[in-house]
Structure 1
Amino acid sequence: MRKSIKNIKNIYKSDLFKEFFENEKSSGLVLIGCTLISLILANSIFGEQYHHTWLTPIGGQSLEYWINDGLMAIFFLLIGLELEREIYLGELSNIKDALLPIFAAFGGMLVPAGLYLLFNYGDLTQRGAGVPMATDIAFALGVLSLLGNRVPLSLKVFLTALAVIDDLGAILVIAAFYTKTIFWTNLLSALAVLLVMFIMNRMKVHKLLPYLIGGAIMWYFMLNSGIHATITGVLLAFVIPFQHGEKTSISYKLQHFLHKPVGFFILPLFALANTAIVLGSNIGETLEQHYSIGIALGLIVGKPVGIALFSFIAVSLGLCKLPDDLSWKTIIGVGFLGGIGFTMSIFITLLAFDNPEIINNAKFVILLSSLVAGIIGFFLLKKTLKRNHNEKNN
């Protein structure tokens, strides 16, 4: 039995991880293209028409609303399935291996939030502390993939585990701090549906359709509970039978199926709908705002400092060790890639702020900061990996 589970772990690491990494890096490139298209259209003569396209009413709500509250729940479902895989079979299944990315992720969340609050504590904009805490998996892995074959597998795994834990942290932050009013009847109804699906799991109901129907019902109640409906996706992921993670499990099949729709339809659509940013004439004034400084410092400085510092503390305390093919410079480089916030940062921005001007400006600063962090991380890793490659050959 133990040997069987070990074989399944190897299959997961070789097959599904490779598929995940390949899809994420391709998705990252598509996201870049969609973001550029959205920015160009938003600032062209078609800008007003383009903006109003996303406000098209459907079922009493705008198209943008259904993308952010509906389709993004499917994105969170995929995150939940990936997190479950990591916990059972991936890098998080061994506590010794998991501690390095866990500590790195905590540092990458706490330090950026602290820097943001340093400039915004006591102001109305302090609710934006969660904005620089997030890492965009697709963009980060997309940049890492540009470095080619010199990137060691341990670095890919570290960044992936870090980003997945980071997303879990973002989900918890959304649930804890961006819920204004709770409607308990609807919340308890959603949890009752979750309980039914959990019982189905324990009774070994291994058909996907009942879970998808239950997930849709739970999403409806969660949508009307005051807690953001996308949390439904993560909860659903953990009641879908994982079994031993074999390819015949419905968890594996669903995760495999969702990679392409999420990476090449849902996230690009989210990017198109949420990066219609109008660039004002006074960009300098935008960058001088306290929330802008907090976001920029959080992503460009807080992320690499937090990731590297907490990793160093964990290794120094003997809780874990740095992989043999990694150095502290590569960890710092990955820390800068962690500063690519994009999807999750924009998502939290929409929850944190009500003022349209602040939302627009925050999105602009997120894009700019993510670009700067990504460029620094790319060139730092390129230089470090090239040096390591040359030293190894010599």
Structure 2
Amino acid sequence: MSRHWLPWGTTDGEQGKSEHSGIWRAGPIWMASDRKLARFVGRPVAAFLRVEAAGGIILLAAALAALFWANSPWSASYESFWSTELTLQIGTYELTEDLRHWVNDALMAVFFFVVGLEIKYEMACGELRDPRSAAVPIMAAFGGMAVPAAIYVAFNAGGDGADGWGIPMATDIAFALGVLAVLGRRIPSGARVFLLTLAIVDDIGAITVIALFYTESISFLWLVLALAGILAIIALRRVRVWSPYIYVTLGVFVWLATFQSGVHATIAGVILGLLTPAKPLLDQAQAKEYARQSIPDELDPGEVRRYRFLLNESVSMSERLERALHPWSSYVVLPIFALANAGIDLGGGVLEEALGSPVTLGVAAGLVLGKTVGVVVTSWIAVRLGWGRLPTGTSWTTLLGLAMVAGVGFTVSLFITGLAFGDGTLLADDAKVGVLGGSIIAASLGAAFLVMADGRRHQDEEQPEPEPAEEKRQ
């Protein structure tokens, strides 16, 4: 995500400030104490979580843990654990799924809800507000989806793995931004915005693909109920009902109805994120000025609640929700998803078979080669036609590195793998090997090219400017 909120306060006991909201909030008091827990655990952990690469690092650690578990002497317990069934019962209604499906269908809805919030913010206030300013990354995103899918089809047309064409289309925001964060100041700020915009548009494309092409059967009764819940949310917004409890209740209902309709339930998360207001109920400056002029010397509890409401509603609901949910999405939901889905038993010749599988080759080639070619070529076309320009400080070598980093397709690619081939199948294992291998290669090559581009940029800056021709003649 583009906005990385201070997750649980600051490490030095001072106040933290949200980059976009401008609202100050204090960190936990115990974090500023001299207790050992604060000094040796609390402050170091909070400092780590504020680093942009932290989400990608934790996600990678979870994936490695899953691979170790699935290939350890306790490998049988991996599949046994994630196949454990869990039943949710409300009255006579029962919903039974295994743990992996609860993660993929319910927990990942939180991740896609945060994605919906981010898309809504960018469309209302960010890079996607003016399509012309975002023309190049938007075009690059479409090229970065179409070419990988075409390469995959070239490997698998007419074969058993033909349904997996959507797997190499996705870009993993957490990992991609994590690679840039590791490189630090070598990456121009405009290049970061370019990759972020590309990844957001890529998410929109992936969500559309999931909704249109990976839905097997539809129950129209449940679908109508889901639409009714969505319309109820829209109506409540129009009459200015702002109680979060009502919307949480309706949101759970919309998720359940979408799940039962046959449309993948994570789509409900995206829709709910897009419906969340991206503009505040009250103007922030007016709310602060009103509060400053009208606060008496002494406040009773009712007045405290009133002024807290004024300040709270001067920040949009989407910002508040994203600030609250982004840490949970990055540091809890995605690692659990990786732990549940990245465990591939590579023994018994599985790895050797996968390396010769057209599914593995199609996925890896799509992520590494397809993303690079698609992003660079469509970006060049957009610049050549005058629809936009490269970000400030970004060379074509830098863009090539960004295109390679966009080939890191871990989270959503694994997600689509489960939809295309099911869980525990040979085709799914082949695709997962391709996702893991392709993502590692893409990240490594992308980082190398970005470092190379940074070196060339510094070399150009250090070269003296040529003297004017007149001075040379003198």
Sort the TM-score into its range (normalised by shorter chain): over 0.9
Using the TM superposition, give the Cα deviation of residue 298 of structure 1 relative to its aligned residue in structure 2, in angstroms. Answer: 0.3
State yes or no: 1:351 paired with 2:419. yes
Give the conservation status (yes or no) of the 8 Å contact 2:147–2:366.
Answer: yes
Is 1:378 the counterpart of 2:414? The answer is no
CA distance in 1, matches of 2:443, 2:238: 44
Q: Is the 8 A contact 1:38 1:276 kept in 2?
A: yes
Q: Whose helix proportion is higher, 1 or 2?
A: 1
Q: CA 1:163/1:23 → structure 2, altered by over 3 Å: closer, same or farther?
A: farther
Report matched runs for 1:186-335 at 5 Å.
Answer: 186-244=222-280, 248-282=315-349, 283-335=351-403
Structure 1: how far apart are the matches of 2:374 and 2:256?
37
- In 1, the alpha carbon distance for the partners of 2:114 and 2:257 equals 20
Deviations 1:351-386 (A, max 9, x none): 001371111221122101100111000111011112
Q: Label 1:33 to 1:68 Cα distance change in 2 as closer, same or farther (>3 A).
A: same
Alignment CA distance shift 1:23-1:131 (3 Å): farther
Of 335-344 and 24-33, the range deviating more from structure 2: 24-33
Contact 1:25 1:143 in 2 (8 A): yes
1:103-122 Cα distance to aligned partner (Å, 9 max, x none): 01000000000011111122
**Aligned AA for 1:38?**
A
Contact 1:336/1:374 (8 A) holds in 2: yes
1:11 and 1:368, CA in 2 relative to 1: closer, same or farther beyond 3 A? closer
* Equivalence for 2:35: none
- Percent of aligned positions with the same letter in both sequences? 41
Q: For CA contacts below 8 A with separation 6 or more, give which structure has more relative contact order.
A: 1
1:336 to 386, 401, 404: 404
SS of structure 1 residue aligned to 2:128: coil
Residue of structure 2 equivalent to 1:4: none
Task: Name the SS for the 1:97 alignment partner.
Answer: coil
For the Cα contact (< 8 Å) 2:279–2:315, is it kept in 1? no
5 Å-filtered alignment, 1:154-169, equals 154-169=190-205
**Counterpart check, 1:25 vs 2:53:** yes
CA contact (8 A) 1:132 1:299 kept: yes
> 1:393 offset after TM fit, Å?
4.3
In 2, distance between residues paired with 1:182 and 1:26?
39
Runs of 5+ in structure 2 lacking a partner? Answer: 1-17, 24-46, 88-95, 285-313, 464-474
Shift of the alpha carbon at 1:389?
2.7
Give matches, 1:89-238, under 5 Å.
Answer: 89-238=125-274
- CA separation of 1:23 and 1:173: change in aligned 2, threshold 3 A: farther
Residues 160-181 of structure 1, C-alpha deviation per residue, up to 9 Å, x if partnerless?
Answer: 1111110110000000000111
Among candidates 63, 68, 72, match of residue 104 of structure 2 = 68
CA distance in 1, matches of 2:21, 2:235: 30
Following superposition, the deviation at residue 252 of structure 1 comes to 1.0
- Taking a change above 3 Å as real, the CA distance of residues 317 and 373 of structure 1, as seen in their structure-2 partners, is same
Contact 1:211 1:240 in 2 (8 A): no
The corresponding residue for 2:28 is: none
CA distance in 2, matches of 1:156, 1:13: 21
Distance 1:344 1:23 in 2: 22
> Shift in Å at residue 13 of structure 1?
9.4
Cα RMSD (Å) of the superposition? 2.1
Q: Which moved more, 1:303-312 or 1:324-333?
A: 324-333
Tell me the distance in 1 between the aligned counterparts of 2:160 and 2:86: 32
Structure 1 range deviating more: 257-266 or 246-255: 246-255
Alignment partner of 1:146: what SS?
helix
2:119 — aligned with what?
83
When Rg is computed on C-alpha atoms for both structures, the one with the higher figure is: 2
> Aligned to 2:438, which of 363, 369, 384?
369
Q: Any idea what SS the aligned residue of 2:355 has?
A: helix
- In structure 1, C-alpha distance between the alignment counterparts of 2:68 and 2:451, rounded to whole Å: 30
The amino acid across from 1:389 in the alignment is H
- Equivalent position amino acid for 2:383 in 1: V
Report the count of equivalent residues: 382
CA distance in 1 between counterparts of 2:461 and 2:127 reads 26
The secondary structure found in structure 2 opposite 1:166 is helix
**Distance between the aligned counterparts of 1:14 and 1:385, measured in 2?**
33
Match of 1:124, SS state, is: coil
The C-alpha deviation readout for 1:261-308, integer Å capped at 9, x for no partner, is 010100000010111111134323312111111101100100011001
| TM-score normalized by the length of structure 2 | 0.77
1:51 alignment partner in structure 2: 79
**What SS class does the counterpart of residue 352 from structure 1 fall into?**
helix
Unaligned runs of 5+ in 1: 1-9
Relative to structure 1, the CA distance from residue 386 to residue 30 in structure 2 (aligned partners, 3 Å threshold; closer, same or farther) is: same
* Contact 1:23–1:260 (CA under 8 A) maintained in structure 2: no
Shift, 1:392, TM fit: 2.5
Moved more, 30-39 or 167-176: 30-39
Within 1, Cα distance between the matches of 2:212 and 2:52? 28
For 1:307 and 1:205, locate their aligned partners in 2 and report how far apart those are by CA, in whole Å.
Answer: 43
- The match for 1:5 is none
Contact 2:62 2:338 in 1 (8 A): yes
> What's 1:3 paired with?
none
Counterparts of 1:25 and 1:85, CA distance in 2: 22
